[in-house]
A and B are shown apart, each in its own frame.
Chain A
Amino acid sequence: MQQASRLVSSEGLTTLSRDGRIVARLAESWTTSADGLNWTFRLRPNAFFHDGSPVDSSAVKGSLERSLAGIDRDLSPGLGDISSIETPSSHELIIRMRERSTFLLDALSVAINKVTAGSTVGAGPYMSGKSIDGEIRMEAFSRYYGGTPQIQSVVWKAYPTVRTAWAGMMRGEVDFLYEVGQDAREFIEGEASTTVFPFSRQYAYGVIFNSRRDFFKDRRVRRALNHAVNRSALVQSAFGGHARPTDIPSWPEHWAFDSSVPRMEYDPAKALALLEAANVTSFKVMPGRAPARIHFTCLFPENLPLWERIALVVQRDLSDIGIDMELQSVPIAQFNQRLVAGDFDTVLLEIVVGNSASRPYTFWHGASKQNVWGYSSPTVDSALDTLRRASDEQEYRQAFRQFQLATGDDPPAVFLALSETTRAVSKRFEVVAPAGSDILPTIADWRLADGTRRGAN
């Protein structure tokens, strides 16, 4: 709920389109020096924070410096390339870099906020209100540079289940469901008063190896496990067809994605051959378990039926090549704790692949703090470094391709599928959004079908 409300209350200097291209937001335009070390940004003159103050260079500088000092720096490697920020005029900002970085512009999609009197205000289309009784109430920002939103107010409210949220929608209390589960999607699709908007998320489910474990050190074993899983069948049986198979941590809609790179096809025979090549041949017997060539555990959060079903499918596929993956579902807190501590053989995760190469860099580069699974591959690191320092699109494309090849050759996980999520909106609203994309960022453009301005939940 907090994340959703932040999406409409704050904006960055830039944002990324679905194919990874940079789109101007609070920054109206920018230029860079030939060496890529000096960037000059021109801010929008008609952009204001929710307290009425202009989005000027000093405020932006202050916001960016807070991000540089916080967790955003770890999640956005582009921020780490900034050496200094200057404000030559009220609406002009100069960012000086330590090194050339292609990650800067997508890093600048980080929210620009202003801290006043202990509260933080953004410059997005809706102003955050106080959270009362578990609800967050937001009002349309009349000085939003993109124009006053059509919907006057938005109230975010958390519901324990889809059923209760949907019941609220049927009562007219709810106009928008942030996320509809796979199972409930078909039911709501059939409901006449609601429109559903499914879209692929930039997240991939995957069974991620703890590369520190001995039996995962050999890349042939990891590749064998990848070939053992029938991703297409999994998409059908676990996702009901509402997902896209994937075998690498890359966003296939990214402008630099090379679809000609060979995929790791479902091939149990090849998997067995790879195991044989890695000398994983003998079956070991463990009490209460089936005899297996390798026995390891897979950790995932409990009470997530979809995740459990995914795990069961993978477990069965692996058992076909003599791999015993023991499933362990644990409370989410314990899961996070063990994940950070590296206390797992494998984890089932839904991990961001992003529409920017900075996201894979964060999770799969050997030097990244977010690489909690101990994965390290010189070819992958090389590809990611090249992506980060590329000086032109050609170099960037080659590096992206290299990353695709490297993660296929030396897989850090068994990536399974790009998930699909569904939002649902009452037909009282006219939603303006490109087909197949998330409708939430366009909420400022939604309008009531009868042309009035009213609140929405």
Chain B
Amino acid sequence: LKGITSRFAALLAAAGILPLLLYGAVSIFSLRDATRQSVITGNENVARQVAEQIGLYVQTNVDILQSVAGTLDDTNLERWQQDRILKHAVLDFPEFREITLFDATGTPLASSRVGQSKLVFPQSGTEFSPTTVVSPIDIDDDLLPTAVVGIRLSRVGVSSGSLVGEIRLEEMWRMVDRIRVGELGYALVVAPNGQLIAHGNPNEKPRVARGDNLSDQPLVRLLREQREAAPTSLEYTSTTGVQMLGVAAPLAPLGWTVMVEQPRSEAYAVADQLTRQLIFIIGLALLVTVTVGYFFGRSFIRPIFELMRGTNAVAEGHLNERVTITSRDEFKQLGDSFNTMADKLVELTEDVRKKERQAMFGRMAAGLVHDLSHPIQNIGNSCKLIVRVFDDPEYRLTFTRTIDREIETLKRVLDDLRNVARPAPVERFPLDVNRTVADIVESMRGYAEESGIALEAKFTSQPAIIEGDAFALGRVYRNLLTNGVQATQAGGRVTIATTRVGDKVEVSVTDTGSGIPSERLGAIFDDFVTTKKRGLGLGLAITKRIVEQLDGTISVTSEVGKGTTFTMQFPVAQQPVAVAAAAG
């Protein structure tokens, strides 16, 4: 049962659960990977677009300054005209705080400022173009991001000065502020030196004003180590311990980096939700599979169990047991076949029993004929002879003895039959086994010698007192010795021996006869089983029954051609003193 259940469970697992699990795992990983990649790509696009907008914004302002430079350079305008152009430029383009024109020595020539110009050509920064330099971003006293743009002017290849403008990049902040990815995702801008120059999260703006440096930020570091200026992404832990998904896009002309940071939990919320849903669906499918498999399996295995139950019952002899299978499949046919087979078996069994009874009756009849015909014939002969020689007292006595003996034989046969039908009760008294053996040997020695058989007895020197019935034991010995004598050729030997084995007294009867084939040994103690050509076969059955009535055991060993040994063991009596007295 266990085997078929296990195999069926294994089949269900292999055919249903494992593929579903495999499919689920592949689906979950694929879905999660694809969704996450989609999120990363989306955020990268946001970062790239912001970078493009900021780049365009800065480029536009640089273009404005270059346009102003084109108006001023080599146009022979008077100073007041240059001055007016610059003043109008800062009014027309509010991003410009100041624009000042310098000569080749760095002396201001014209400026939008009313007072002294504070600008100088940027000494460091990004080479925006061969003639244009953009200084690093500075957060001014009014908390605004400013940069200084310097344009080198030249007249026929000779330096003729420069035009320097200070730009407020407020709009860049607004661009960044407008970016919101989900609820908690923000954009930020990092300068080439790692300085944070814009942050869309209001709570993080103090870091901008402080000029925090993000050089050690994992994503900034990664981007710096990357050779190609391409968007990249990374998951890392923020300084506040939040798992973040960060993507970065380079702002190539300025060397700035636009990043979009979003808590990982929010970025992957959809992926996680889909994963949970898929796990739920797969779990549900598994549950359905297992449930269906369980109930289907039960309906499949139940007929098998029913058949096994019926088979076992029949095997145990309950031939009237039948199976009930309600399904309409091959199992139903199998069940019907089983029931038909059982019906046939009952018929066959009855037939066999009938034949066995007939055979037994025949054997019994033959045995009775054998056992009774000889004594009856002897009695009849004696009766005829006694009439003839009635006057001869010696003959008369002989015939009388013969008739008595044969009547005794008849009586014994009849006793055996009665004993089989209704076993005689045994009585128990302490008795000495050696004595009972000695008595029977003495009584049967003549019978053995008539057959040319030597009857020997061997006695243990140890006490051999048991609780037994002397008459019943005598019958046992007689049966065994008679069998031994009858199975032994003339000149052979039959030995009866007693020994003490622990708390048992053992009695063995050994002959040197023809022996019993091993295949017949198993049934030798059954009723009406005999190794002889004739006879009822009740002797050993009665013997075994008596031995067991005395709490003893009997066994047989035999070798064809060499002889047979019957061994009996009886428990030693518990009251040795009383026995000794009895034995004495």
Please determine whether chains A and B interact with each other in the same assembly: yes
Chain A residues packing against B (C-beta within 8 Å): 160-164, 166-167, 170, 181, 183-184, 186-188, 190-193, 237, 288-290, 302-303, 305, 308-309, 311-313, 315-316, 319, 327-329
Asked if B91 is at the interface of the complex by the 8 Å CB criterion, the answer is: yes
Task: Write the B167-195 contact mask toward A (1 if CB under 8 angstroms, else 0).
Answer: 01010010001000000000000000000
Say yes or no: is B316 at the interface (Cβ < 8 Å to chain A): no
**B143→A184 contact, CB < 8 A:** yes
Query: Is B140 on the interface with A (CB-CB < 8 A)?
Result: yes
B 79-111 to A, binary, CB cutoff 8 A, 1 in contact else 0: 111001001101100100100000000000000
Residues from chain B with a CB closer than 8 A to the CB of A160 are: 141
- Tell me the B residues contacting A by CB distance below 8 Å: 78-81, 84, 87-88, 90-91, 94, 97, 112-115, 139-144, 168, 170, 173, 177, 202-203, 205-206, 209-210
Out of A162, A170, A237, A302, which one reaches B115, CB within 8 Å?
Answer: A302
| 5 further A-B pairs in the complex, CB-CB below 8 A; given A166-B209, A290-B80, A329-B114 | A163-B209, A181-B142, A187-B144, A290-B81, A312-B114
Identify A170's interface contact among B81, B139, B168, B206, CB under 8 A. B206
Q: Which residue of chain B is the closest to A161 with respect to CB atoms? A: B141
Most chain A CB within a 10 A radius of its CB, from B79, B90, B139, B141? B141
Contacts of B90 in A (CB 8 A): 309, 312
Contact of B206 among A191, A288, A302, A329 (CB under 8 A): A191
Q: Which 3 A-B pairs have the closest CB atoms?
A: A161-B141, A183-B142, A327-B114
Contact A167 B209 (CB under 8 A): yes
* Chain A residues within 8 Å of B81, by CB: 290
Give bound CA distance, A47 to B158, whole Å.
79
Cβ-defined contact, B91 with A162, below 8 A: no
Whether A190 pairs with B170 at a CB distance below 8 angstroms is no
Could you jot down 28 A-B contacts, CB within 8 Å? A161-B142, A162-B141, A163-B139, A163-B140, A163-B142, A166-B143, A167-B209, A170-B209, A170-B210, A181-B142, A183-B168, A186-B170, A187-B205, A188-B143, A191-B203, A192-B202, A237-B91, A237-B94, A288-B78, A288-B80, A302-B114, A308-B113, A309-B90, A309-B91, A312-B114, A313-B91, A315-B87, A316-B91
Residue of B nearest to A306 (CB): B142
Distance to closest chain B CB from A48 (angstroms) = 42
Across the interface, name the chain B residue whose C-beta is closest to A330.
B115
Residues of A within 8 A of B205 (CB): 187, 190-191
In the bound complex, residues from chain B placing their C-beta under 8 Å from that of A192 are 202-203
Q: Is A183 touching B114 in the complex (CB atoms < 8 A)?
A: no
- Give the residues in chain A near B84, CB-CB below 8 Å: 290, 319
Report Cα–Cα, A319/B91, bound state, in Å. Answer: 14
Determine the residue in chain B with the shortest Cβ distance to A317: B91
Q: Do the beta carbons of A163 and B143 come within 8 Å of each other?
A: yes
CA distance A289 to B79 in the complex (A): 9
Chain B residues lying within 8 Å of A316, measured Cβ to Cβ, are 87-88, 91
Select A184's contact among B91, B142, B206, beta carbons within 8 Å: B142
Determine how close the nearest CB of chain A comes to the CB of B148; give it in whole angstroms: 16
- Could you tell me if A190 and B202 are in contact, using CB atoms closer than 8 angstroms? yes
**Residue numbers in B under 8 Å from A327 (CB-CB):** 114
B90, B139, B142, B168: residue with the most chain A Cβ atoms closer than 10 Å: B142
A363 to B127, CA, bound (A): 54
Q: A162-B143, A163-B140, A327-B114 are known contacts. Are A191 and B91 too (CB-CB below 8 A)? A: no
Given contacts A237-B91, A316-B88, contact A190 B177 (CB under 8 A): yes
CA distance A288 to B81 in the complex (A): 9
Query: Is the Cβ of A187 less than 8 Å from the Cβ of B80?
Result: no
Bound: A162/B97 CA distance, A: 18
Residue of A nearest to B79 (CB): A288
- Residues on A with C-beta less than 8 A from B88 are 316
Residue from the set B112, B139, B206 with the largest chain A CB neighbour count within 10 Å: B206
- Residues from chain A with Cβ under 8 Å of B140 in the complex: 163
Cβ of B209: which chain A residues have Cβ within 8 Å of it? 163, 166-167, 170, 187
Instruction: Check A308–B80 contact: CB distance below 8 A.
Output: no
Inter-chain contact A303/B141, CB cutoff 8 Å: no
Contact B142 A162 (CB under 8 A): yes
